[in-house]
Amino acid sequence: MRGHVVYKKGPHLGVEVGERVFISLPRKRLRGQVYVGDFVEVDVVDDRHVRIKEVYERKNLLPKPKVANVDLLVAVFSLRLPKLDNLHLDSVLAISEKYGVDSLVVLNKLDLAGEEEFLRWRSVYEGAGYSVIGTSAITGEGLERLKAEISGKTVVLAGPSGAGKTSIIRKLAPGVNLKVGRIGRHGRGRHTTTDITLVKLPEGGYVCDTPGFAKVEISFFVGRDELPRLYREFRRFSCRFSDCTHTHEPGCGVLGNVGEEPGKVHPERYRTYRVLLEKLQRV
Ligand SMILES: Nc1nc2c(ncn2[C@@H]2O[C@H](COP(=O)(O)OP(=O)(O)OP(=O)(O)O)[C@@H](O)[C@H]2O)c(=O)[nH]1
Ligand SMILES: [Mg+2]
Ligand SMILES: [Zn+2]
């Protein structure tokens, strides 16, 4: 029978078969090779247990959280509290590009920010080729549009701690038991858990909450030579050299097109590119 891995809790995996979720321990031969999001072939052992026999080919595998077959990564960042850190956002988007996962930008806490602030960031990311949705988990603004974008898909929500990921999921899947955190907590030990759950959406599809981090260490996931092609909008331009780093090379189409006008590379995006490139240079 075909199943879908919908959670990982300690050494156990939860496999949805039809309408039911069974507990499974993967076969020795597959241990460590089955991830949440995987489609698997199983034998039903008893009332509560299945045995995974085989893992079907996956279309992608995000490294953190380790989730397979992701249709969409939703980068959830708040405009305020915490203030939007676009370097962090651009790291998340670049990692998503690298792993072949489409992504969408959610700017949350609209209720705390001015309209111009939202419109300014929206134009930066729409200009780069991303869909942008402004939301408020408090007033509910934008959540219908977000729902429409994610229904039927397997979606991972990622973004900094306190941005509102869990609050948004609670609104999208009411009745599901999730922990909403407090801003400003700290301590490295908090997020060491690797437990992962795909929450079923009422409209179909699954959403995965992840604990936020202050920043992602992009160097764990992306090599220096890869970064130039992970900025979507850079692909619109051509450069004289195929291995152009878009920093100093003659005939560089990116460098020649940095500007705030539509169709150009927004100066803020170019700035974060340089910061990330510099970071990757040092590793
Ligand atoms: N004003 C306002 N507050 C919000 C909004 N969304 C979430 N919050 C609050 O922000 C705080 C953090 O929300 P969470 O949903 O726990 O944030 P998170 O992204 O899940 O954070 P981590 O789990 O730490 O990664 C909570 O106090 C929420 O009530 C919003 O749209 N507007
Ligand atoms: Mg949370
Ligand atoms: Zn170039």
Identify the pLDDT of residue 178: 63
What are the CA-CA distances from residue 89 to residues 66, 77, 233, 256 (Å)? 19, 7, 15, 24
Q: Which numbered ligand comes closest to the C-alpha of 106?
A: 1
For atom 2 of ligand 1, the residue with the nearest CA is 109
| CATH class (in words) of the domain with range 68-208 | alpha beta
Q: Which numbered ligand comes closest to the C-alpha of 164?
A: 1
Ligand 1 atom index nearest CA of 76: 19
What are the CA-CA distances from residue 179 to residues 11, 167, 210, 211 (Å)? 22, 9, 11, 10
Q: Which of 120, 116, 164 is nearest to 142 (CA)?
A: 164
Q: Which numbered ligand comes closest to the C-alpha of 186?
A: 1
**pLDDT tens for the 283 residues of the chain, in order:** 999 999 999 889 999 999 999 999 777 888 889 999 999 999 999 999 999 999 999 999 999 899 999 999 999 999 999 999 999 999 999 999 999 999 999 999 999 999 999 999 999 999 999 999 999 999 999 999 999 999 999 999 999 999 999 999 999 998 776 655 443 344 344 444 678 999 999 999 999 998 887 778 899 999 999 999 999 999 999 999 999 999 999 999 999 999 999 999 999 999 999 999 999 987 6
Q: Does residue 210 have its Cβ closer than 6 Å to ligand 1?
A: no
Q: Does residue 108 have its Cβ closer than 6 Å to ligand 1?
A: yes
- Tokens for 174, please give them: 């009411």
Q: How many Cα atoms are found within 13 Å in the side-chain-facing hemisphere of 115?
A: 0
Q: Does residue 143 have its Cβ closer than 6 Å to ligand 1?
A: no
Report pLDDT digits (tens) over 26-79: 778 888 899 999 999 999 999 999 999 999 999 999 998 999 999 999 999 999
Q: Does residue 109 have its Cβ closer than 6 Å to ligand 1?
A: yes
In angstroms, what is the span from residue 207 Cα to ligand 1's centroid? 17
Identify the pLDDT of residue 153: 98
- Domain positions in the chain are 2-55, 68-208, 223-281
* Identity of residue 40: V
Given this chain, do its domains 2-55 and 68-208 carry the same CATH topology? no
For domain 2-55, is the CATH number 2.40.50.140?
Answer: yes
Pocket test for ligand 1, best of 180, 186, 188, 196 (most atoms within 8 A of CB): 180
In angstroms, what is the span from residue 160 Cα to ligand 1's centroid? 10
For atom 13 of ligand 1, the residue with the nearest CA is 164
d(CA 112, CA 119): 14
Ligand 1 atom index nearest CA of 139: 31
Ligand 1 atom index nearest CA of 110: 31
Identify the pLDDT of residue 174: 87
